Structure 1
């Protein structure tokens, strides 16, 4: 690969939280984008693929393509599904990914950038995760991503396709949803949060930093064949994060020092054990590899990222 612009990049998940920002970033630096969408959205040069699956025909979309950035994934189990959740994740995150990888290699695509997850490394460890760790995925989602990583590496060995794997932690930024948005709403409303006694370390990744790292992995020759962990460059405790978000909002952080053991007990009673574990446990990322090998530095601080996230939510 070259570090010059005008690379033709196919982006799956182009209308998603990360996808839209990535397409804008790649277009801004001169790349030609082929956005893949499930249904018409109005994006320039978009290709409607419908529901992505293990038998999807990618031939039209891949014609003349230099790089694939594969963002699309099943993150949550389909509601009301009667299938084994492991199979529902594997169908999209593993089998559909490998189908795309095989067809990309056959079509002459040079590089495949796969967005995996830090959960492939594991969850809840106190020490920082690194690329050299033995993978320890715990849930069906993480296992499906790990299986996809292994399958893509096999395709790379067999075909010469350059595979780059990125494992991000929680990504936040303008338009963020789910738990991060709920946290912001709770702080905005002045709700007291029983999280003041937590002493953990968690890494996060601002959307602007994420798309910049993906952009570099599209362009940089030394990215080929590598796996990189990503973060903003600092780890914070849950109370520190709440205080930082509150500062960005100009609101007070109302924290109650409830013992972690009590939180865990209440989480078990309420069927929220996993959610409490995420709030109280550590997930610290060491992103030194991408910094040293590709010279990447996050262009935005966590403070700047939180300010932009809060401003967009108003």
Structure 2
């Protein structure tokens, strides 16, 4: 199998490249900076290149739409005119909703609030508006929070906090959310490309189980063999300090507080039904333990 990957230097791109190379597939990285053209022949394009959500809120709206929307349109047009059979576009659950009250599935009406989410949705709409040649397939992947060895972000911050013995101050927020291990992501992409019976469409990617951030702290503590105190400080006090963090550019701001405490449950039933499986290869807890253990070797 010959696969073209855009955004191959990123966390997901590096992992997918290694996974498919280990499976004896030929992987080509396509840089979309400056002048570029897509090779005419391959089996699939995995389009990862894009602008991630800026938690510091310093990016302009135009940046999101130029990179996430316009660039996706250009490479998709090249795919349509090529001999390549499969196009996999990595969108985001945030293209649908910034907040989830129940469980997010593929049928929910999309109402993103951020420029990041809106730019991803615009790209999705463009892909869905085109008539595909009969032999081609297009997959819009909406992953939730991806993690794995080498991952940076909130998981690493929580790990450092627990390692230093700092009490967890947000225990009053009792949430449930979805995670996605890089191992399960690799598995799902490989299965989509191997199984030609899977139909084009939108697919959520998430691990099987939901976890609260409080449970995540317990898992980190278990890995580190440290007992972490969980403090139930009044929510309004925490929210007040997060707003101060917005103005003073502190590590705890409104955006980070939301990521750490929000309810965001994502259904993966559609892709599992397509693959005729009941469970993904790696459980939610196993994947998180693997990621957390990798921080010890940094």
User: CA separation in 2, counterparts of 1:18 and 1:80?
Assistant: 23
1:112 shift after superposition: 0.5
Q: In the alignment, which residue of structure 1 is the partner of 2:51?
A: 74
Q: In the alignment, which residue of structure 1 is the partner of 2:268?
A: 287
Q: In the alignment, which residue of structure 1 is the partner of 2:286?
A: 304
Contact 2:6 2:32 (C-alpha < 8 Å) held by counterparts: no
1:310 shift after superposition: 2.2
Q: In the alignment, which residue of structure 1 is the partner of 2:257?
A: 276
Q: Where does the alignment leave 5 or more consecutive residues of structure 2 unmatched?
A: 247-252
Change (3 A) 1:76 1:127: closer
User: CA separation in 2, counterparts of 1:279 and 1:175?
Assistant: 20
Q: In the alignment, which residue of structure 2 is the partner of 1:46?
A: none
1:132 shift after superposition: 0.4
What does the per-residue CA deviation read over 1:8-42, in whole Å, with 9 as the maximum and x for residues that have no partner? 11011112111111112112333221123xxxxxx
Change (3 A) 1:261 1:223: farther
Q: In the alignment, which residue of structure 1 is the partner of 2:165?
A: 190
Q: In the alignment, which residue of structure 2 is the partner of 1:208?
A: 183
Q: In the alignment, which residue of structure 2 is the partner of 1:142?
A: 117
What does the per-residue CA deviation read over 1:38-60, in whole Å, with 9 as the maximum and x for residues that have no partner? xxxxxxxxxxx3626xxx4324x
Q: 1:58 aligns with which of 37, 44, 53?
A: 37
Change (3 A) 1:249 1:295: farther
User: CA separation in 1, counterparts of 2:128 and 2:46?
Assistant: 15
Q: Where does the alignment leave 5 or more consecutive residues of structure 1 unmatched?
A: 1-6, 37-48
Q: In the alignment, which residue of structure 2 is the partner of 1:41?
A: none
1:221 shift after superposition: 1.9
1:77 shift after superposition: 5.3
Structure 1 vs Structure 2 CA RMSD: 2.1
User: CA separation in 2, counterparts of 1:311 and 1:20?
Assistant: 19
**Secondary structure of 1:146's match?**
helix
Normalising by structure 1, report the TM-score: 0.86
User: CA separation in 1, counterparts of 2:191 and 2:222?
Assistant: 31
Normalising by structure 2, report the TM-score: 0.90
Does structure 1 residue 168 correspond to structure 2 residue 143?
A: yes
